[in-house]
Amino acid sequence: MYSQNKILELRNLKKYYPVYGGVLRRVKNHVKALDGIDLDIYRGECVGVVGESGCGKTTASKAIVRLHTPTAGRILFHRNGRDDGESITDISRLKRGALKRKGIREKLQMVFQDPSTSLNPRMLVKHIITEPLREYTDLSSREMENRVVELLNMVGLSKTHLMRYPHEFSGGQRQRIAVARAIASHPEFLVLDEPTSALDVSVQAQILNLLLSLRDKFNLTYLFVTHHLLVVKYISTRIVVMYLGKIVEMSGTKDLFATPFHPYTFALLSGIPIPGSEQRMKRIVLSGDVPNPLNPPRGCRFHTRCPFAFKQCGDEEPGLEEIAPGHFSACHLKSRSRQKVRDKFGNGM
Amino acid sequence: MGNILEIKNLVVNFYTYEGVVKALNDVSFSVDHGSTFGLVGESGCGKSVTARAIMRIIQEPGRIESGQVILYPETVDGNGSVDLLKQSEAYMEDLRGNQISMIFQEPNAALNPIMSIGDQVAESFLFHQKQILCETILSELSDGQHRPSKAVLMCLKTIYGKAADDGDSFFFKLLGSVPFLRNWDRRLKSVAIRRAVSLIGKLGIPQPERIVNLYPHNLSGGMKQRIVIAIGLASNPLLLIADEATSNLDVTIQAQILELLKILKKDGISSILLITHDLGVVAETCDRVGVMYAGNICEIADVREVFEAPLHPYTRALLKSVPKINQDDRLASIPGNVPNLVNPPSGCRFHPRCMAALPICRHEAPALVNAHGRHLVACHNSSVA
Ligand SMILES: Nc1ncnc2c1ncn2[C@@H]1O[C@H](COP(=O)(O)OP(=O)(O)OP(=O)(O)O)[C@@H](O)[C@H]1O
Ligand SMILES: Nc1ncnc2c1ncn2[C@@H]1O[C@H](COP(=O)(O)OP(=O)(O)O)[C@@H](O)[C@H]1O
Ligand code: SF4
Ligand code: SF4
Ligand SMILES: [Mg+2]
Ligand SMILES: [Mg+2]
């Protein structure tokens, strides 16, 4: 189990993207990509974030490592070791320079989905990995060279790969290089946005295992974003389910798969195509598609597709409530939802 | 159960600047009538090239070097087989979208952005099933409530009777220049639209009457993919080839399409060749599975056999490398990478990554042989692996 000390707290985090329109290109509306999420992340855990395309996973990841500035809300970073008020910094509005001065920027790193676009094609592997070392450390060039080789070895590559360009590697190898670069600055927290989605399944397993061993070795904390539920189940200790910019359910991984509460989570889990002949739960096929985040439905955002929606759902937005210890769900049915799903779909969960 | 399609010793190469990409190296398999055959494998193993070779739409600089693609259009009545690789381009043009429909990963490429959904599906009906539409009209004409006058009825009957035989003949070109008969096909179109509405409704899209008036950009990815399937089905094909048709979709939308494919199968709509890299999709929708690696078929068996008693080392390794729902221990990954097909490994193309490799594997490619029942495997050492 992970330690109980927090590394990050997200408080009512929001990110609205302006939509321009009309002849004057004025702001016409906003895409509410992230609409008020609260999340505590503890050191050493791997929080998996799942949800359909456009639900705000990438937006949340980028906000946390401050690749953009959130529209509202706070991101509290807890410095390692101490838990007195002193060590907590709200990084949601800090500029790049300030983040770097405070030594926080190097602690939060990100690995992107597509290794072929996230690595500069004109840079040698050696320089790709040296870049963060140069920025965040004051190693001599000799030490730096040793460190680069050490990092390559950590991700399963070797010295012979130093003088090559990204295009000379396979997708899996490129993702290894991206991981090496991300861990070069001794980060404490890594956001992994779909790090294996562009990879072949045989290579995906290599990268997932690499990430697990690096986590153990350096006590890293991960936020692992994916739409692949079996991958997230494999790697995460806790899972956050998002729908249209909101967290709808959150709990430990085992709990979420064994005893989900939210109707949307049921639909997601029942939709997983299972690679084997095991018994699967009866599929809950949702009608329609994810609504447009420009005009999310009133009340519960899921009510337009929820098989259990009732009057209150269209009027009132359900809050995220703790229904069982450590298990949160945002549904007016609260804990009755599971029985409802069973009654209607007879799922043996 | 007879075959609808049989692929024999198919070899396809691409002549690129880098060298010759040996994309398909002696691929053989067959698809049973009324069943779903799944072709699985990692990216670049040749799944799409196989599909394109069947349709004879391999892009430049590719070439089908040898092999046979045999379609048994009439198996139901027990006669006829056609080697598609020997047919004229005109024959193939008629066959594509008519007897074999293909659905691709990207629905946008298959839809016309400036034509309404209804028109696109209706067009497919008009193009491929004109005869049936005409027959519908004729029967409606004879027992409809608002009967036209006798002379007009005779005239219309002649027109639709003739159209059912051959809608493109000179007769209709002539007809197009007669003022009050110029719009003779309007009725045909309205029947086609009606069929489109009912088919779209059957595919689980709510309010089909409204949807037919929309354009592709009004629809989401999952809906668009279902429209593409509708267009493919409108021709009532013998074989539907779906190449990664659900790979870009979200879990809940993919679930809709997978359920749809199951219903289609249950209704015996057609035989399906389902191409995917997702073993989960295969497990759920297919009756028989072919596993591909680097341009070869490694193993073919019924779906349960593949998952419960795989024989080929690659199949076994692949199954161990995907996370399962009850995954408790570490995933086993396959060392190394998928090979480059310009210089594929000698002998068995899997040998550099194979745990069960024997000395012979390095210089002799294993043949695909029947291990037992209808379980085929291509490996020198499948019993040990
Ligand atoms: N730069 C931007 N400008 C405007 N809208 C944006 C921008 N980036 C994202 N969005 C919108 O914000 C919403 C959430 O996007 P986000 O990229 O976070 O989704 P996601 O959950 O990562 O989806 P996916 O699974 O497809 O990666 C989407 O509706 C998206 O269209
Ligand atoms: N148009 C093309 N030009 C050159 N090589 C191609 C072309 N199309 C496919 N190939 C090669 O053929 C092999 C098989 O490709 P493909 O069938 O598309 O793989 P997949 O199994 O992912 O569908 C790959 O090595 C690919 O690079
Ligand atoms: S609040 Fe209502 S609409 Fe939302 S998930 Fe619960 S039952 Fe469904
Ligand atoms: S033929 Fe040899 S190398 Fe190929 S899969 Fe079988 S044992 Fe492995
Ligand atoms: Mg994303
Ligand atoms: Mg393909």
pLDDT at residue B89 tops 90: yes
Residue nearest ligand 4's atom 1 by CA: B379
* pLDDT computed for residue A344 by the predictor: 86
Mean pLDDT of chain B: 85
pLDDT at residue B151 tops 80: no
- The structure's pTM equals 0.84
Q: Average the pLDDT over each of A72-81, A271-280, A324-333 and give the range with the smallest value.
A: A271-280
* pLDDT computed for residue A295 by the predictor: 86
Chain B contact present for A155, CB below 8 A: no
Mean pLDDT of chain A: 89
What contacts 24+ positions apart, CB below 8 Å, involve A292-300? A293/A31, A293/A32, A293/A33, A293/A54, A293/A56, A293/A244, A293/A245, A294/A19, A294/A29, A294/A30, A294/A31, A294/A32, A296/A32, A296/A35, A296/A244, A296/A245, A300/A330, A300/A331, A300/A332
Across the interface, which of A172, A209, A275 has its CB nearest the CB of B331?
A209
DSSP for residue A305: T
- For chain A, the domains span 6-241, 244-345
Q: Are A297 and A303 in contact (CB under 8 A)?
A: yes
Percent of chain A clearing pLDDT 70 (strictly above): 95
The token duo for A66 is 């401050």
What contacts 24+ positions apart, CB below 8 Å, involve B219-222? B219/B117, B220/A289, B220/A290, B220/B253, B221/B107, B221/B248, B221/B249, B221/B250, B221/B253, B222/A289, B222/B249, B222/B250, B222/B253, B222/B254, B222/B256, B222/B257
Among the four given CATH numbers 3.40.50.150, 3.40.50.280, 3.40.50.300, 2.40.30.110, the one describing domain A6-241: 3.40.50.300
| DSSP output for B253-290 | HHHHHHHHHHHHHHTT--EEEEEES-HHHHHHH-SEEE
pLDDT in tens, B13-50: 999 888 899 999 999 999 998 899 999 998 889 999 99
Q: Which residues of B touch A290 (CB under 8 A)?
A: 220, 250
Percent of chain B clearing pLDDT 70 (strictly above): 89
Span B337-346, mean pLDDT? 88
Across the interface, which of A52, A230, A234 has its CB nearest the CB of B252?
A52
Ligand 4 mean position to B364 CA, how many Å? 10
Pocket (CB within 6 angstroms of ligand 2) = B 14, 16, 21, 23, 41, 43-49, 59, 62, 341
Span B85-102, mean pLDDT? 90
Percent of chain B clearing pLDDT 90 (strictly above): 43
A27 versus B361: which is more confidently predicted? Answer: B361
SS3 A101: helix
pLDDT in tens, B285-317: 899 999 999 999 999 999 999 999 999 999 999
Span A297-318, mean pLDDT? 94
Residue B175 pLDDT class (50, 70, 90 cuts): low
pLDDT at residue A61 tops 50: yes
Q: Are A64 and A7 in contact (CB under 8 A)?
A: no
- Please give the Cα distance from B68 to A343 (Å, whole number): 53
Q: Which residues of B touch A280 (CB under 8 A)?
A: 284, 325
Q: Are B300 and B5 in contact (CB under 8 A)?
A: no
Å between B144 CA and nearest CA of chain A: 37
Residue A3 pLDDT class (50, 70, 90 cuts): very low
- Please give the Cα distance from B69 to B6 (Å, whole number): 6
Chain B contact present for A85, CB below 8 A: no
Atom of ligand 1 minimally distant from the CA of A62:
18
Residue A1 pLDDT class (50, 70, 90 cuts): very low
Span A122-135, mean pLDDT? 92
Q: Are B29 and B7 in contact (CB under 8 A)?
A: yes
Chain B contact present for A290, CB below 8 A: yes
Residue B385 pLDDT class (50, 70, 90 cuts): very low
* pLDDT computed for residue A187 by the predictor: 93
- Please give the Cα distance from A299 to A332 (Å, whole number): 10
pLDDT at residue B118 tops 50: yes
Q: What is this model's ipTM?
A: 0.81
- Mention every residue, 6+ apart, whose C-beta is less than 8 A from residue B183: none
Q: Are B109 and B41 in contact (CB under 8 A)?
A: no
* pLDDT computed for residue B140 by the predictor: 75
- Please give the Cα distance from A112 to A115 (Å, whole number): 7
* pLDDT computed for residue B164 by the predictor: 65
Residue A5 pLDDT class (50, 70, 90 cuts): confident
SS3 B82: strand
pLDDT at residue B152 tops 90: no
CA dihedral sign of residues A331, A337, A341, A344 = negative
Residue B125 pLDDT class (50, 70, 90 cuts): confident
Ligand at minimal distance from the CA of A51 is 1
Distance of CA A116 to the CA centre of its chain: 20
Peptide bond into B61 cis (omega under 30): yes
pLDDT in tens, A212-252: 999 999 999 999 999 889 999 999 999 999 999 999 999 99
- Match 């003088």 to its residue by tokens: A163
Q: Average the pLDDT over each of A55-64, B91-100, B144-153, B243-252 and give the range with the smallest value.
A: B144-153
pLDDT at residue B351 tops 90: yes
Across the interface, which of B281, B330, B338 has its CB nearest the CB of A273?
B281
Q: Are B42 and B338 in contact (CB under 8 A)?
A: yes
A235 versus B180: which is more confidently predicted? Answer: A235
Residue B197, CA atoms < 13 Å, CB-side half-sphere: 12
Across the interface, which of B251, B307, B318 has its CB nearest the CB of A272?
B251
Task: Report in angstroms the alpha-carbon separations of A58 from A52, A65, A224, A231, B222.
Answer: 11, 11, 10, 17, 21
Closest Cα in chain A to B226:
A288
Residue B163 pLDDT class (50, 70, 90 cuts): low
Kindly report the number of other CB atoms within 10 A of residue B225's CB atom. Answer: 30
Chain A contact present for B253, CB below 8 A: yes
B169 versus B209: which is more confidently predicted? Answer: B209
CA dihedral sign of residues A14, A304, A48, A109 = negative
* pLDDT computed for residue A2 by the predictor: 44
- Please give the Cα distance from A8 to A6 (Å, whole number): 6
Percent of chain A clearing pLDDT 90 (strictly above): 57
Residue A349 pLDDT class (50, 70, 90 cuts): low
pLDDT at residue A269 tops 80: yes
Å between B281 CA and nearest CA of chain A: 5
Most confident option among A59-63, A153-157, A158-162, B180-184: A59-63
